[in-house]
């Protein structure tokens, strides 16, 4: 009963703090850690049953890494390009090197400096994916590159955690390396075979019952975590391997979504416990190193990424935005240091130091990522040093085009069919490199570009363009485009997308010729069908056949309808 009361109080305080974080538009993980600080012995001293609550938190970490493993499909890893690999490895090397030097200059021992340096290299996959999704930037070039080097970091973290967890058995270094190599290779080979040849069939059998699939997923993840713990590795690594093995299952998305509520509940307790274990007795000694390390992460990490991407030939804006995605440390960093404490390599003071750095960098990077588009114009002229004259993204003089289509996905697909019938020169501009590649293969003139980049718009030759169409739903982007175009071309027809009546009226006031409102157009189209076909079932069935064929083609091209909640 005491544990139940403690949990109730902890969750109540966590809800209150998380609500404040929600109002401030900060990741809830900050609220969880702050709640842990509040219930710690230094403040309310709520936690008495530390061992029991710690078990719950360990389950949360296991579920967290299990779900991360599910997203690490070998198929996805194959798609990570040269830039993700080079940037990922380069950022790990340079961040750990500079982090180690800073740690040593601050007076930390070699072993502590190694832990701190490596902890600083990890960026939060969960936080970055959430922020990129909120911005709808997962398909933009910088978003794809960021996701790619996050996968590289995750793989590095898996290997590293396996090595550190093995120290708990007290092996000598030579014995450890041999056993780690042999056991690691055997386990990896064994579970690769299972994931390819056995698990897909098993999961299909279990998927016949949603309840059975849920139970199988929990049993598989917890079972492998326990097996790895028994062998001498950590439960976290077992959970990661279990997730990677299940990533080949056709039901891995469903498994992941079903386990997230369980993960979210238990992981809250992990970060609460983490916050409660912070040591404040030496806070005066920790605050200066915490600020120095935080500034290194917030400024140094983005600079490292910008340099590497500039060398590879990417534009300064792509490097600028991708750099901000590594301006924080991750859950892996905290887990790594916590593991170091558990094997006796680190003290709780170091855990507190890294946790403070985590709070500062997660808090600051959220704003950097969310407002990178608005910040870029102020820094643009200073970033040319990171940019080579020859761009891998492509840069050449723009020719004259009768029609320019900004954004190909969804609506742009239909518009392009109509433009072809006009027999006019049409240019498609899109920020998805895969879209550009597909259009180029099909013989369309296209260019990779970001409409939010004023420099890119300035490079375009739009003086004699007859029509400009933007299928980009962002209001601010369309305002910028209309304003820029109207300054140089008063007679051009400008069409844009909007999902909001007030914003549509504002776009009209700024000079738009016509605003496309998809939600209303659907009703207009259905109304015209009724007027034309009356109550003739046969005609509606013909429309159905045509629409099904149309949707199949859209699906083949990867065009999905946006979720309704994204639009106001």
Q: How confident is the model at residue 173 (pLDDT cuts 50, 70, 90)?
A: very low
| Of 3-12, 17-26, 138-147, 360-369, the least confident | 138-147
Average pLDDT across the chain, whole number: 79
Q: Average the pLDDT over 304-318 and give the result.
A: 86
* CATH code 1.20.1530.20 region(s) in the chain: 2-385
User: What pLDDT does residue 468 have?
Assistant: 92
User: What pLDDT does residue 61 have?
Assistant: 74
Higher pLDDT, 49 or 305: 305
Q: Which of 153, 159, 162 is nearest to 330 (CA)?
A: 153
Higher pLDDT, 113 or 187: 113
Contact 84, 145 (CB under 8 A): yes
Q: Which H helix or E strand runs over 497? A: strand 493-497
- pLDDT tens column, 73-92: 555 555 556 777 888 888 89
Q: How confident is the model at residue 414 (pLDDT cuts 50, 70, 90)?
A: confident
Whose tokens are 């761009």? That residue is 391
Q: Which of 69, 63, 48, 70 is nearest to 3 (CA)?
A: 48
Q: Which H helix or E strand runs over 496? A: strand 493-497
User: What pLDDT does residue 512 have?
Assistant: 92
Query: 437: which strand partners?
Result: none
Please state the separation of Cα 180 from the chain's center in Å.
31
User: What pLDDT does residue 99 have?
Assistant: 93
Q: What is the DSSP letter of 559?
A: -
Q: How would you label 458-478 residue by residue, b for 16+ Cβ within 10 Å and e otherwise?
A: eebebeebebbbbbbbbbebb
> Phi and psi at residue 282, in whole multiples of 5°?
-110, 30
Contact 539, 533 (CB under 8 A): yes
- pLDDT tens column, 465-493: 999 999 888 888 899 899 889 988 888 99
Residue 157 pLDDT > 80, yes or no? no
User: What pLDDT does residue 567 have?
Assistant: 34
The Cα 245–Cα 63 span in angstroms is: 14
Residue 568 pLDDT > 50, yes or no? no
Q: How confident is the model at residue 97 (pLDDT cuts 50, 70, 90)?
A: very high
User: What pLDDT does residue 564 have?
Assistant: 38
Close Cβ partners of 345 (under 8 Å, ≥ 6 residues apart)? 111, 112, 115, 167
* CATH code 3.40.50.720 region(s) in the chain: 403-566
Residue 1 pLDDT > 70, yes or no? no
Q: How confident is the model at residue 303 (pLDDT cuts 50, 70, 90)?
A: very high
User: What pLDDT does residue 78 have?
Assistant: 54
Vertex 140, ends 520 and 413: CA angle to 5°?
45
Q: Average the pLDDT over 528-542 and give the result.
A: 84
Q: Is 2-385 a CATH 1.20.1530.20 domain?
A: yes
Residue 415 pLDDT > 60, yes or no? yes
User: What pLDDT does residue 26 have?
Assistant: 76
Contact 388, 315 (CB under 8 A): no
Residue 456 pLDDT > 70, yes or no? yes
Q: Where are the alpha helices (DSSP H) in 110-209?
A: 110-119, 125-135, 141-166, 173-193, 199-206
Q: Where are the alpha helices (DSSP H) in 169-233?
A: 173-193, 199-206, 210-231
| Of 9-13, 156-160, 289-293, the least confident | 156-160
Structure tokens at 336: 């790594």
Report in angstroms the alpha-carbon separations of 337 from 274, 308, 343, 352, 355: 11, 28, 10, 10, 9
Contact 496, 518 (CB under 8 A): no
Fold of 403-566: Rossmann fold (3.40.50)
Pairing of strands 493-497, 446-448: unpaired
Q: Please classify residue 239 by burial: count the beta carbons closer than 10 Å to its beta carbon, then call 0-12 exposed, 13-18 middle and 19+ buried.
A: buried
Q: What percent of the chain has pLDDT over 70?
A: 83
Q: What is the DSSP letter of 233?
A: S
Report in angstroms the alpha-carbon separations of 248 from 41, 71, 149: 45, 10, 21
Structure tokens at 468: 């400009």
Q: Average the pLDDT over 539-558 and give the result.
A: 76
- pLDDT tens column, 103-131: 999 999 999 999 999 989 888 776 787 77
Q: Average the pLDDT over 162-176 and give the result.
A: 55
């Amino acid at each position: 009963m005491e544990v139940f009361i403690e949990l109730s109080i902890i969750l109540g305080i966590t809800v209150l703090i998380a609500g404040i974080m929600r109002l401030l538009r900060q990741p809830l993980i900050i609220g969880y850690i702050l709640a842990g600080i509040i219930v710690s012995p230094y403040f309310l001293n709520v936690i008495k049953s530390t061992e029991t609550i710690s078990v719950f938190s360990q389950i949360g970490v296991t579920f967290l890494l299990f779900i991360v493993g599910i997203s690490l499909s070998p198929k996805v890893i194959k798609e990570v390009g040269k830039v993700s690999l080079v940037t990922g490895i380069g950022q790990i090397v340079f961040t750990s090197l500079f982090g180690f030097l800073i740690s040593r200059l601050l007076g930390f021992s070699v072993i502590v400096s190694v832990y701190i340096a490596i902890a600083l290299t990890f960026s939060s996959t969960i936080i970055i994916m959430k922020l990129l999704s909120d911005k709808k930037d997962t398909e933009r070039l910088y978003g794809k590159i960021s996701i790619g080097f996050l996968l590289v970091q995750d793989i590095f973290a898996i290997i590293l955690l396996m090595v550190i967890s093995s120290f708990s058995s007290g092996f000598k270094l030579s014995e450890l390396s041999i056993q780690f190599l042999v056991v690691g290779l055997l386990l990896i080979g064994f579970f690769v075979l299972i994931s390819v040849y056995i698990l897909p069939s098993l999961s299909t059998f279990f998927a016949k019952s949603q309840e059975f699939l849920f139970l199988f997923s929990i049993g598989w993840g917890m079972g492998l975590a326990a097996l790895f713990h028994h062998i001498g590795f950590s439960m976290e690594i077992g959970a990661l391997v279990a997730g990677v093995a299940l990533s080949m299952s056709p039901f891995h998305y469903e498994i992941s979504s079903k386990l997230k509520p369980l993960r979210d509940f238990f992981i809250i307790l992990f970060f609460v416990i983490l916050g409660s274990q912070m040591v404040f007795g030496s806070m005066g000694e920790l605050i200066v190193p915490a600020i120095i390390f935080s500034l290194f992460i917030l400024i140094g990490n983005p600079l490292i990424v910008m340099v590497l991407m500039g060398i590879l030939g990417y534009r300064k804006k792509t490097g600028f935005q991708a750099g901000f995605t590594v301006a924080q440390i991750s859950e892996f960093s905290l887990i790594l240091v916590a593991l170091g404490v558990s094997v006796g390599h680190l003290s709780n003071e170091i855990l507190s130091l890294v946790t403070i750095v985590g709070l500062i960098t997660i808090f600051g990077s959220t704003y950097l990522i969310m407002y990178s588009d608005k910040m870029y114009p102020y820094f643009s002229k200073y970033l040319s040093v990171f940019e080579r004259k020859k761009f891998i993204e492509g840069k050449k003089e723009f020719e004259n085009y009768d029609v320019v289509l900004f954004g190909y996905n969804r609506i742009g697909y239909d518009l392009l069919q109509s433009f072809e019938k006009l027999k006019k020169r049409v240019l498609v501009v899109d920020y998805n490199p895969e879209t550009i590649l597909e259009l180029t293969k099909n013989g369309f003139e296209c260019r990779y570009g970001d409409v939010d980049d004023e420099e890119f718009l300035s490079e375009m030759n739009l003086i004699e363009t007859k029509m400009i169409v933007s299928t980009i739903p962002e209001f601010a982007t369309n305002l910028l485009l209309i304003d820029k175009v109207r300054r140089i071309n008063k007679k051009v027809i400008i069409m844009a997308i909007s999902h909001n009546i007030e914003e549509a009226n504002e776009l009209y006031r700024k000079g738009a010729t016509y605003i496309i409102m998809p939600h209303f157009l659907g009703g207009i189209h259905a109304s015209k069908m009724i007027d034309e076909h009356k109550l003739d079932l046969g005609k509606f069935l013909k429309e159905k056949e045509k629409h099904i064929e149309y949707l199949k083609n859209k699906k083949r091209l990867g065009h999905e309808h946006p979720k309704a909640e994204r639009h106001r």
